[in-house]
Structure 1
Amino acid sequence: MTGALTLALAIVVVVFVIENNHPASLLFFGWSSPSLPFALYIVSALLIGVGIGVILSWVARARVKQKISRTE
């Protein structure tokens, strides 16, 4: 089941990247990024968000384990 879900997600990402290959430039507080494919910005934001989520869940899990070990 997990393999099928991973494959489906990979197919969706590949189709998204192929369909959104137009160059785009971002402007953020006066800083202008180089002109890169639009999909690269979106996939990068997705990966950064997933990374932050993993780190935050790891910290929360560590706190819960620490709280459980204190009560025992």
Structure 2
Amino acid sequence: MRNVKRAVLAVFSLLIMFGVVIFTLENQQPTALIFLGWRSPELPQSFFFIGALLVGMAVGPLMGFIAYQRKASRLKRRLQAQV
């Protein structure tokens, strides 16, 4: 059963990588972003999309970890107050 799970994970990972490569090749139009007067250099659209995805993948778990730490500290305080 473990080998089947590994094979499914490998196939799924390859499909995701294949999709990213196709996405990158299809979005090669140069684009510059402007935010609060700051202008980025002209880079392919896919660079900005994948960059936003990676930032989101980093921030999401970080926010979850912070929420978990807050909840754990509240639970500790409640348990200490009961004793």
Decide: shared fold, TM above 0.5: yes
Which structure has the higher relative contact order (CA within 8 Å, separation 6+)? 1
Q: Which residue matches 2:4?
A: none
RMSD: 1.7
Please give the alpha-carbon distance, in whole angstroms, between the structure 2 residues aligned to 1:69 and 1:6: 39
Over the matched positions of the two proteins, sequence identity in percent amounts to 32
- Alignment length (residue pairs): 72
- 1:9 to 2:11 alignment: no
Structure label with greater radius of gyration: 2
Q: Give TM-score scaled by structure 1 length.
A: 0.80
Q: Specify every segment of 5 or more residues in structure 2 that has no aligned partner in the other structure, as ranges.
A: 1-7
Using a 3 Å threshold, how does the CA distance of structure 1 residues 57 and 4 change in structure 2: closer, same or farther? Answer: farther
Q: Give TM-score scaled by structure 2 length.
A: 0.71
How far does residue 32 in structure 1 lie from its aligned partner after superposition? 0.9
